[in-house]
Amino acid sequence: MTKRESGGREATVADVAKAAGVSKAQAARALGGYGSVSEQVLSLVLAAAEELGYRPNQLARSMTTGRSTSVGVVVGDIENAHFGLALRGISDEVRDAGYTVVLVNTDEDLGAEVGAVQELLQQRVAGLIIAPCSSTETAHLESAHDHNRAVVLFDRGVRGWSLDTVRVDFAEAALHVGRLLLDAGHRRVGYVSSLRAEGPYELGMDLGLSPVADRVGGIERAFGEAGAEWDRSLVKLNAASDDALAAACADLLDRRDPATAIVCSDSRIALGVLGQIKRRGLRIPEDVSVVAYDDFPWTELVDPPLTVVSQPVYDMGREAARALLRRLGHRVPAEQLPLKAHLVERASVGSGERTPTA
């Protein structure tokens, strides 16, 4: 019986079983990917399903297997192009394995992240890929594990619990950023990030297992090598909103002894910083130098082109997806791509020596 012979209606598992000459239970196991069937039965069922144009009922499958063919992805800020590109890598990889992506944005809020995980578990997602906003608050991740869901972390890690974690190595690149600015004569170096923290940055503050910790640590190391002191009041965290970013820039650029260079933690922060610099009539790099993390096309098209730290964002998303697929029982090779960042020098860093204005 072909699909046309069935009067145009959607083929059912019973139709596939009849066409394949197997029991309905065998056909259901073969089509649902659970239980065990012989290679011969699998071949017969798949051939019959193809002939009939069978499409699985994903809701029914989730009720049978306890999980759907969706994977949940939880990020802090989907407006950040970094997460958008990582999501593309995740989506491309899981789609080839027959999964779809359910995306949740949390605005880097722990409560929203906890709620997102609970909602995704109720939707019976097969697994979760999360960029956690906290390195220590892990109860919701443990809940996912208790529900027998695979969990993979990307971009950031957590402490005290062994989970697959896909992160870029920023250690050397961040050190090179600090050295570059110091060699150019900069001693008043600002750093702006949306990372949530309680209070202003202080030496030794726990920034979690996050890229920001690595990046700030790299600049600290460079200053230490040079025997110089980095003014920690120039590190601005919590710049997640437009107002907070504007306030951070005001404190860096409008003080009596302003920052001569600003390092932007991501491309969204960089766009905001460039806007604040332009509003003040300042020039890059004559008045202030700028370094940005993430090498997106626009960073090379602005005038002057920005010095950036480039990282393999798409590959990071792809590796996170591959780690999740392995956890879900797929025979995905344990390929490890080189997830390292590197400095790309352009024209946005100039001399840190400033001629006093009259």
113: Cβ contacts below 8 Å, ≥ 6 apart: 74, 106, 130, 132, 133, 134, 140
Which spans in the chain are helix H? Answer: 13-20, 24-32, 39-52, 58-65, 81-96, 110-122, 139-146, 171-183, 211-225, 242-253, 267-279, 297-301, 313-327
Q: Are 343 and 180 within 8 A, CB to CB?
A: yes
Which of 133-137, 323-327, 350-354: highest mean pLDDT? 323-327
Tens digits of residue pLDDT in 95-124: 988 899 999 999 888 899 999 999 998 888
| Backbone region of residue 137 per phi and psi (left: phi > 0; alpha: psi in -120 to 50; beta: other values) | beta
Tens digits of residue pLDDT in 321-333: 999 999 888 876 6
327: Cβ contacts below 8 Å, ≥ 6 apart: 127, 150, 152, 164
- Looking at residue 5, its pLDDT comes to 47
State mean pLDDT over 325-347.
Answer: 81
The CATH code that applies to domain 67-167+313-327 is: 3.40.50.2300
Q: Are 147 and 319 within 8 A, CB to CB?
A: no
Decide if pLDDT at 337 tops 80.
no
67-167+313-327 and 171-311 in the same fold:
yes
Confidence of residue 9 (pLDDT cuts 50, 70, 90): low
What's the mean pLDDT when you consider all of the chain?
Answer: 87
Residue ranges per structural domain of the chain? 4-56, 67-167+313-327, 171-311
156: Cβ contacts below 8 Å, ≥ 6 apart: 131, 132, 133, 135, 165, 167, 208, 209, 210, 211
Decide if pLDDT at 251 tops 90.
yes
CA 35 to chain centre: 34
CATH 2.30.110.10 is the classification of domain 171-311: no
CA 319 to chain centre: 11
Confidence of residue 129 (pLDDT cuts 50, 70, 90): very high
CATH fourth-level superfamily of 4-56 = lambda repressor-like DNA-binding domains (1.10.260.40)
Tens digits of residue pLDDT in 170-226: 989 999 999 999 999 999 999 999 888 888 888 778 887 788 999 999 999 999 999
C-alpha 112/C-alpha 105 separation (Å) is 8
Four-point Cα dihedral 265, 83, 211, 252, nearest 10: 10
C-alpha 100/C-alpha 58 separation (Å) is 11
- Looking at residue 203, its pLDDT comes to 76
Confidence of residue 56 (pLDDT cuts 50, 70, 90): low
Decide if pLDDT at 227 tops 60.
yes
Q: Which stretch of DSSP H or E encloses residue 150?
A: strand 150-154
